[in-house]
Chains A and B, each alone.
Chain A
Amino acid sequence: MHNLSFDIAHMLAGGLVLVSFMQLYQDRLYALLNTFALHALVLALSVAWQAYIQNAPHLYVTAAIALVFKAIVIPVVLHRIIVRLGIHRAIEKVVGVGPAMLLGIGLVALSMVVMLRVTAEADPLAREDLAFALSVVLLGLLMMVTRRNAVSQVVGFMSLENGLVLAATGAKGMPLVVEFSIAFSILIAFIVIGIFLFRIRERFDSVDMQVLDRFRGERQ
């Protein structure tokens, strides 16, 4: 079924992977949040396109949630938080840009090899969608481990969740329960994170996880 609708779905899912790569090398929090907004926007487009070609109107809800919450509300709120915390300047990285990109390429290759092999019998659209989704999930994970800053770890987590939404919408006819729960849990997660950020600020005057790490482990 190599037709236009397939190509567009393919392009949007691939675009999501590309934006995930863009997130990997953003070393300023503002830029990172903007890239995340772009990530969510591409996700919203991709989900909306899936809703259209699958004739599944409930997916438009998921797309709208991605657009409103993830592309607009969350970046705006996080912008405010980082300004209030005074950490809107550069962020540090544990791994440099080059190694991070190479690792990312390796992870994408891995997910292609794994998913395309095991889904040989599934329909091609769902198959490629799943492979892209796993790539986005793994890149989100990579971002979480290569960052020290609490805010960028949260962004990594949210882009990971975007990958899950892509997978869930690509799986044709997946019940609404799940999509809704994903959106809902992100919302909850965000509230939790918000509370944490404020508490961290209150107690440490920093959201650098390395500062927190000093308190780790057994105290003698």
Chain B
Amino acid sequence: MIGPDDAVAALLWIPIVTAAVLAALPGYRLTARLNVLATLASFLFALSLFFVRPQPGAYLLIDDLNNVFIVLTTFVGFTTSVFSASYINHELEIGRLTPTHLRFYHAMYQVLMFAMNLALIANNIGLMWVAIELATLTTVMMVGIYRTHEALEAAWKYFILGSVGIALALFGTILVYMAARPVIGEGLDAMVWTILVAHAADFDPALLNVAFVFLLLGYGTKIGLAPLHAWLPDAHAEGPTPISAVLSGLLLNVALYALLRFKMLLAVNPLALAPGPLMVTLGLISLVFAALMLYRRRDIKRLFAYSSIEHMGIITFAFGMGGPLANFAGLLHMTMHSLTKSAIFYAVGHIAQVKGTQKIVDMGGLTVTNPVLGWGLVLGVVAIAGLPPLGIFMSEFLIVSSTFARQPLLAVPLVIGLLVGLGALFMRLNSIAFGEPRGERAPAQASFVPMFAHLALVLAAGIYLPPQLVVWLQNVARTLG
């Protein structure tokens, strides 16, 4: 029987040891399988946290909130590694990746999983910052891995904007420490989140406010909130598709999680500013902006990158509204978006490989030429656009209805944004999936299991949510304030 501390240790040790091993091992078959095995093991250990959980320490913490995030992260990490195995095989065959780069890619994949797990588990706000910085650096390297003009430019842009964001977040973290020091005293305790939240009511509210603004701008850059989103479409479009899936499905969530932790600090302090309106504003701007931008996209990966900005906007909006219902909807939407968006990227990755391009103009009639892939994409887009009976419909419905009940005026731009986004996605989907077949028609050598597994989960969640899960999410939603 494994103890609770072992599971947490495993979540950190498995990826880091695997990364070292993968960096040393040559060959494709073995390493891809090892990558899958390691992520599967991480996922199983993450699941075990539902049942036994360690006491919070000075550095590590498992509670209801991050447990959800950890399980989601390790699950999508696992399915993406399965997708990545078949995707990377094709990239090696056509010579876009060399064996050396492959080793580097696999090692970086595990380092990224390590960094995300660490950011989620960290109880120390400094440690959390370090982990998010590490995750940023690894994804920068992955985005640039093809070493084309576009890939390097995307990586550079991501690196510069991401570093500026991360630097602002560190300044905010230092300010939180400054606010905590007079109350908690000097030293390590003043950076431990569980201790901070217990004493946050006595912190200097003005300092906390400024700290939150820096944290919102800093981590908001990583979440991809407009107008700080400029790196996101490039990074998604130019990197390997498994990385696009992990970026959209997981890394944006991790940054959002960091922001939520600090929002909880402010919620405890009655004199501090309410973080809600700031998050609502940024969320709405991102939603409406991204929905409009969706119309002009000509690159399929960029299209879905903008869709990620749109959905992160919706989620930030929901958490900004706050209250048990909106928080519940936000958590549900985040989970559904991660599953759906990564499924879409799995489909898009194979489509781009079949067609040999990412331009939407050169794709057409996919449901005729590659029926499984085409219909998979159709299902994914139907899900992401928020049509019933899929999971995103339910979470969007909850967000809209709770907004109508509390702030009807805010619901207007929200609904407009959602509808505009829906229109754009279907317009593009129509030309990609239906009509006259265009472009290459090679059969796809793809593994469809991860994609359909995700879509099945999203469909199942839209029809029936297990009551235990509902209770769990409601508990988490209450703690978010």
The reply to whether chain A is a binding partner of chain B is yes
Residues of B within 8 A of A218 (CB): 296-299, 302
B-side contacts of A137, CB under 8 Å: 167-168, 171
Given contacts A118-B206, A196-B156, A220-B298, contact A173 B187 (CB under 8 A): yes
Interface centre among B156, B159, B181, B209 (most CB of A within 10 A): B156
Q: Which residues of A contact B181 (CB under 8 A)?
A: 171-173
Asked if A181 meets B130 with Cβ closer than 8 Å, knowing A144-B160, A164-B167, A189-B137, the reply is yes
Contact with A along B104-139 (1 / 0, CB 8 A): 000000000000000000001011011001100100
Q: Among the listed stretches A17-25, A38-46, A69-77, A198-206, which one makes contact with chain B, having 4 or more residues with CB under 8 Å of it?
A: A198-206
6 closest pairs, A vs B, by CB?
A: A173-B186, A118-B206, A178-B126, A181-B130, A215-B149, A212-B153
Mark B residues whose CB is within 8 Å of A: 124, 126-127, 129-130, 133-134, 137, 140-141, 144, 147-150, 152-153, 155-156, 159-160, 163-164, 167-168, 170-171, 173-175, 177-178, 181-182, 185-188, 190-191, 204, 206-207, 209-210, 234, 296-299, 302, 359
Indicate the size class of the contact surface on chain A: 35 or more
Residues of B within 8 A of A133 (CB): 171
Contact between chains at A161 and B167 (CB < 8 Å): yes
Contact A121/B204 with A126-B178, A144-B160, A199-B147 known, Cβ cut-off 8 Å: yes
Question: Which residue of chain B has its CB nearest to the CB of A218?
Answer: B298
Which residue on B lies nearest to A207, using beta carbons?
B156
Interface string of A176-188 (1 = CB under 8 A from B): 0110011001001
Q: How many A-B residue pairs have CB under 8 A?
A: 134
Interface of A is mostly: helix
For residue A175, which residues in chain B have a CB less than 8 angstroms away from its CB?
A: 126, 187-188, 191
Chain A residues near B170 (CB-CB < 8 A): 164, 168, 182
Task: Give Cα distance in the complex from A112 to B129, angstroms.
Answer: 26
- The residues of A that contact B163 with a CB separation of less than 8 Å are 157, 189
Contact B178 A122 (CB under 8 A): yes
A119's partner among B188, B207, B234 (CB-CB below 8 A) is: B207
Could you tell me the distance between the alpha carbons of A153 and B160 in the complex, rounded to whole angstroms?
Answer: 8
Q: A201 → chain B, closest Cβ, in Å? A: 11
* B243 shortest CB reach to chain A, Å: 16
